[in-house]
Amino acid sequence: MEELLGMLFFAAILGLIPGFIAKSKGYSFGAWWLYGFLIFIVAIIHVLFIPNKKNIEQKIINDLERYKKLFEEGIITEEEFESKKEDLKSKLNTIIKKD
């Protein structure tokens, strides 16, 4: 019984590693901790390859600013700007909801 408790404690500690890495990338600590607790080796590899949400969100914001500038300069039409704006908002909402 003590061995089982020791193993569970060790797994809980190991689960912290993917949890903290995921949190630093903008994802849920709790979900990734559980993933790491249950199957650490898969979770640690997975979390190292997931994109940083914060970088993706910033890129979308930068793209929106770029399209706004193009619209203001008359390079793209209002319809094109609104279309791009809606696409970018949709992408941003998808990223936020995935958490």
pLDDT in tens, 6-33: 999 999 999 999 999 999 998 999 999 9
**CA distances (Å), origin 2, targets 9, 12, 39, 66:** 10, 15, 21, 60
Q: What is the pLDDT of residues 27-65, one digit of tens each?
A: 999 999 999 999 999 999 999 999 888 888 889 889 999
Is residue 17 within 8 A of residue 46, CB to CB? The reply is no
